[in-house]
Amino acid sequence: MSVPVPRILIVDDEAPARMRLRTLLADIAHDCPHLLVGEAADAQAALALCASIHADLVLLDVQMPGMNGMELARQLGRQPQAPAMIFVTAHDEFALQAFDVQALDYLLKPVRAERLAQAIRRVVELRAAARPAPRQFTVQEKGRVLLVPVEQVLFLKAELKYVTLHTAHEEYLIESSLQSIEDEMPDLFVRVHRNALVAKNAIVGVEKGTEKRALPADREAEPEKESWLVTLRGTQERLPVSRRQWPLVKALLR
């Protein structure tokens, strides 16, 4: 899995301090790739910048006129996609407060290049570890094992003792049950019938159809029941929606 390059914002009220950080970042760019996306001389300017550009990491001072770095960190921490924060300051007495606002490091000026690189790498590692691992199905085909990304799956059907996984171009047998897949990935799949799960992002609509009912050989055939059929991108197959599951499918179409 590739590690994203962090987007960094510098916040310090002293121009020489901002220049020093720019120089250090340039010095470590080869071994510690990053993208400097902006600078701010005070907390209000930093908040305005963060509202218009995305920053993964903020290098900020503590003592600044107006709103100080601690309060800025608190406000940034309330954002839906809060950036990581590293304090870069000449004041060692605020270290405990820094960690109270979830700062990931506290660097004392003058900062050494290697120490800055170490702090940035730690942020990258923590963010990479927090990213959800890509989900996939393990399938067997002609004596080999394949990994099918979950994003490629259109629907899964239970037939007799087997479950078949369908993509736009292939069909595979898998060992997982529909129930286990539904329990593990309720955000991705919806049950449309007792024997079928459909990928939510594959649904394009529904249409009227008929549902054929399998009957024992000694019973007379019953008229086919009118029902809804779900239509999917990437396939001509239509899957019947049971009366019980229709409210769930209908809700996805709103």
Question: What would the pLDDT profile of 97-145 be if each residue is shown by its tens digit?
Answer: 998 999 999 999 999 999 999 999 999 988 877 776 668 898 877 778 8
Task: Give the whole-angstrom CA distance, residue 154 versus residue 232.
Answer: 7
Question: Mean pLDDT over residues 160-189, rounded?
Answer: 90
Q: What integer is the mean pLDDT of 28-48?
A: 95
Residue 1 is predicted with a pLDDT of 42
Residues in contact with 155: Cβ distance below 8 Å, sequence separation at least 6, in sequence order:
166, 196, 197, 198, 199, 202, 232, 235, 237, 239
Question: Same structural domain for residues 123 and 187?
Answer: no
| Beta-strand pair 162-166/155-159 | antiparallel
Residue 175 lies in a domain: yes
Q: Identify any residues that bridge with 225 across adjacent strands, giving them in sequence order.
A: 211
Residue 113 maps to which CATH number? Answer: 3.40.50.2300
Claim to verify: residue 31 and residue 142 sit in the same structural domain? no
Query: What band does 226 get if pLDDT is binned at 50, 70 and 90?
Result: low
Q: Which residue, of 105, 130, 155, is where some domain finishes?
A: 130
Last residue of a domain, one of 112, 130, 148: 130
Residues 101 and 197 in one domain: no
Range of the domain at 146: 136-252
Residue 1 falls inside a structural domain:
no
Per-residue pLDDT averaged across 203-211, rounded?
Answer: 84
Considering the domain architecture, whether residues 247 and 224 belong to the same structural domain is answered as yes
Shared domain check, 115 and 185 = no
The residue among 80, 107, 130 that closes a domain is 130
Same domain, 20 and 125: yes
The model's pLDDT over 51-88, given as tens digits with 9 standing for 90+, comes to: 888 899 999 999 999 999 999 999 999 988 899 999 99
Same structural domain for residues 207 and 156? yes
Which pLDDT does position 2 carry in this prediction? Answer: 47
SS3 category, 241: strand
Residue whose tokens read 């702090």: 119
Instruction: Provide the 3-class DSSP secondary structure of residue 152.
Output: helix
Find the DSSP H helices in the chain: 15-27, 43-52, 69-77, 95-100, 113-130, 178-184, 246-252
- Computed on alpha carbons and rounded to an integer, the radius of gyration of the chain in Å comes to 28
Instruction: Indicate whether 115 and 213 sit together in one domain.
Output: no
Q: What is the pTM of this model?
A: 0.56
